[in-house]
Amino acid sequence: MNTSEDSRCDRSIAWFREASPYIRAHRDATLVIAVPGNVIAGDTIDTLVHDLALLHHLGLRLVVCYGLRAQVDEALADDSRVVEGRRVTDDLALQTIVSEAGRVRTELEARLSAGLPNTPMSGAHLSVSSGNLIVARPFGVRDGVDFRHTGSVREVRREAISDMLDATHVVLIGPIGYSLTGDIFNLTVDEIAAHTATALGADKLVYLVDSLPVDAAGTLQRELDSATATTRSTATDTHDNEHLKRVLGYASAACDNGVERVHLLDQHKPDALLSELFTRDGSGTLITAERWESVRPASINDLGGIMALVAPLQDEGALASRSREQLELDIADFVVSERDGTVVACAALYLLDDGNTAEIGCVATHPDYRGEGRADAIVSQLEARAKRQGCAEVFLLSTRAGHWFIERGYTETGETALPPQRRDTYNRQRSSKVYVKSL
Ligand SMILES: CC(C)(COP(=O)(O)OP(=O)(O)OC[C@H]1O[C@@H](n2cnc3c(N)ncnc32)[C@H](O)[C@@H]1OP(=O)(O)O)[C@@H](O)C(=O)NCCC(=O)NCCS
């Protein structure tokens, strides 16, 4: 192999290492994705369908809800009204929607049937199912506007969808619902996706949006809790466009009704889905039901809380001993995660004098609060902090949690790999193992 092949190979291996914990975590997870009509008609659809097929083969249970707004707009020219995100569906609009729904479904089925060409998985078979999965009711007359054949979700036929997923089929749902009286209604893909995710108790609901939420300075907001998403869905002082606001409303409702994570992804970025699901940094905005608490820099007021958290772990040997005085001196290096005024997780980042390396230490979560991603959030934040400070590498010493770090991209190395200044203070009696990660 020549040098460029070597480095490509190294990058692939690094990517695979980073992705592997996520591959495991997502297996058997149910993911509902809302794909708007303009994405289906656009340039990124081939990549998206390819990636959905890949996710299916990795063991995710996939429900793909598709919209038709762009297709129907084009077919009807200016001949149709949309009020607050819903089309006023007259007879002609309904006819167009029904025929476009059939056409798009057939096209998607064909694309999904193509498997994964030019990959070692080409030829892997994928089955697609659809049907009368959404029970609708009329949206009715609102503020004097008769929405005619526009409907809203009355019920999602959860068992029928679950059966299809259990049979390892990808489920396709168009923006159409049927009433108990046999009428056909035009629904929005965003509403269908939210209701479907809720009915299935999905692990993930994904919306592809034209623009992601940003703060007042225009910086992408990587995380929002559902309460904030609710507020923003009706706010007038944000940069959010009308579609994003509606999606925020559905996202927060889905979270409040049991969907664990809602991801908003930039529909213009072909790799957004894989990068969101398989990389630490993700690519879009994550909305979760309860933002348990944010990770924040520690202050001297947290000293007692940190002591109470780490003392038992020091006593049992999971953490190296640090005196109160030492913690007080190092308090600016700590971040904490707090719950109801109590420090429930913490960690520290020590920058070394070489300016290139940092040590992560004292990573601890209170036993009652483990397994909810706190240490993960804290360590990610410290790694980002180290990177911002110009470090190329972080290392840490641990006696028991090595595997936790290995699953997050660290590799075990030896004491001799420690920077010289840290080697001098390495406590051989603890026999801690050394782990390192390139940033
Ligand atoms: C390791 C520790 C910080 C993880 O805290 P946490 O907030 O529960 O971590 P997260 O929620 O982000 O991750 C939990 C996952 O890590 C796994 N995990 C926990 N400890 C682990 C270990 N020692 N090795 C491998 N995996 C571990 C959990 O099983 C869980 O996996 P799951 O979601 O598949 O069930 C916590 O267990 C702790 O305080 N341990 C004692 C102190 C310690 O050893 N610190 C490291 C030395 S610096």
How far is ligand 1, taken at its centre, from the CA of residue 182, in Å?
53
pLDDT score of 1 more than 60:
no
How far is ligand 1, taken at its centre, from the CA of residue 378, in Å?
12
> What pLDDT digit, counting tens, does each position of 372-398 carry?
889 998 998 899 899 988 999 999 999
**pLDDT of res. 420:** 85
> What pLDDT digit, counting tens, does each position of 38-86 carry?
999 999 998 999 899 989 989 999 999 999 999 999 988 766 788 888 9
360 vs 286: CA distance, rounded Å: 26
| Least reliable range by pLDDT among 36-40, 96-100, 285-289 | 285-289
245 vs 292: CA distance, rounded Å: 23
Q: Is 50 helix (H, G, I), strand (E, B) or coil?
A: helix
Can you tell me which atom of ligand 1 is nearest the CA of 374? 7
133 vs 177: CA distance, rounded Å: 7
Per-residue pLDDT band at 206 (split at 50, 70, 90): very high
**Which residue do the tokens 């009329």 mark?**
138
Q: CB neighbours of 179 closer than 8 A, spacing ≥ 6?
A: 135, 136, 137, 138, 151, 154, 185
What is the DSSP pairing of strand 81-83 with strand 86-88? antiparallel
Q: Delineate the domains of the chain, giving CATH numbers in brackets.
A: 3-288 (3.40.1160.10), 295-438 (3.40.630.30)
> What pLDDT digit, counting tens, does each position of 117-171 carry?
666 566 667 899 999 999 999 998 988 889 899 999 999 999 999 999 999 999 9
- Neighbouring C-alpha atoms within 13 Å toward the C-beta of 4: 0
Q: In what order do the strands lie in the sheet with 184-186?
A: 151-156, 134-138, 176-178, 184-186
> What pLDDT digit, counting tens, does each position of 209-240 carry?
999 999 888 888 888 988 889 999 998 888 88
Q: Is 197 helix (H, G, I), strand (E, B) or coil?
A: helix
Mutate to test the pocket of ligand 1, among 203, 322, 383, 404 (most ligand atoms within 8 A of CB): 404
How far is ligand 1, taken at its centre, from the CA of residue 385, in Å?
21
Mutate to test the pocket of ligand 1, among 370, 382, 406 (most ligand atoms within 8 A of CB): 370
Can you tell me which atom of ligand 1 is nearest the CA of 362? 48
How far is ligand 1, taken at its centre, from the CA of residue 344, in Å?
13
How far is ligand 1, taken at its centre, from the CA of residue 240, in Å?
37
What token pair was written down for 227?
């309460």
**pLDDT of res. 102:** 95
> What pLDDT digit, counting tens, does each position of 11-23 carry?
778 777 777 777 8
0.85 cut: is pTM over it?
Answer: no
Instruction: Check if the beta carbon of residue 114 is closer than 8 Å to that of residue 56.
Output: no
Residues with CB under 6 Å of ligand 1 are 313, 318-319, 345, 361, 363-365, 370-376, 396, 398, 400-401, 403-404
> What pLDDT digit, counting tens, does each position of 399-427 carry?
989 999 999 999 999 888 888 888 888 77
Average pLDDT, the chain: 89
Residue nearest to atom 38 of ligand 1 (CA): 364
Residue nearest to atom 14 of ligand 1 (CA): 371
**pLDDT of res. 116:** 62
**pLDDT of res. 155:** 96
Can you tell me which atom of ligand 1 is nearest the CA of 24? 34
**pLDDT of res. 291:** 54
Q: Which residues pair with 233 in a beta bridge?
A: none
How far is ligand 1, taken at its centre, from the CA of residue 373, in Å?
9
Residue nearest to atom 23 of ligand 1 (CA): 401
> What pLDDT digit, counting tens, does each position of 45-57 carry?
989 998 999 899 8
How far is ligand 1, taken at its centre, from the CA of residue 228, in Å?
29
How far is ligand 1, taken at its centre, from the CA of residue 90, in Å?
56
